[in-house]
Structure 1
Amino acid sequence: MLVDNNLYALVPTHHYGGIKGNCLVIPRMHYENVLDIPDSLGADFFRATRRLAQAMRDVFQCEGISTRQHNGPAGDQDVWHFHLHVFPRYSGDALHAGRKVPYNFEDRIEWAASLRAALG
């Protein structure tokens, strides 16, 4: 979906707490966690996150946006390649209490296409 020379974004294979349309922003080069990311990628991540946030507001009419990123075992990291979660949010959505649920393939494709169109 969102692609440049340094990173890309995608709708992952699962969502949390029934909140659909979440995305991951991922660097093309391998960096294990935030401690490995070069400073030069900071602006790229911020720009991508801001663009996704606006697309989510336009597509999903969400009330807010949350981001999440995990580092190290004690930080709940379970994928050993840096990535940033971006979530559309709604009042009372219980994101943090929700369980991880797989998307069905068609929904995932639909959310990605809607966001891609909003990104321009």
Structure 2
Amino acid sequence: MQQVQQQQSLPQQITSLPLQPSNLPQLEDLFTKPLPIKIWNTLQAIYLAEEASSKKFLVSNYMEFKMVDDKSITEQVQEFQLIANKIAISGIALDENFRVGAIVSKLPPSWKEYRSKLLHKKEDLTLEQLLQHSQTE
């Protein structure tokens, strides 16, 4: 008799299993397991929050940047430009006139006369012209 039971076909063995929750696919899994779209939306929200935080950090660094008399002006302008370039890469556009004005306004106290001279010029300077002017001063 045991041999007869062991020789039952596989479909008969499966259908003869008692219907218990552990043998059935969990219906709640369909509602509790995250769908790919939910995973995508969550990851996107996390990324956007990190990106916004990063942008705020870059803008903050740009606004709070201070030039000092102890370091080379060229070196400090390059450092400031690096921050500006990172901001541009992050998708925030900075007009060239704005960038030039920001650099002029951040010149150290010992450059007060030069800063005043640049601010009263009628024509706008490009970044390249400003760098050339600052290197000759």
TM superposition score category, shorter chain reference: under 0.3
**TM-score of the superposed pair, with normalisation by structure 1:** 0.27
**TM-score of the superposed pair, with normalisation by structure 2:** 0.25
Q: Which has the higher helix share?
A: 2
User: Larger radius of gyration, structure 1 or 2?
Assistant: 2
Structure with higher RCO (Cα < 8 A, 6+ apart): 1
Q: Which has the higher strand share?
A: 1
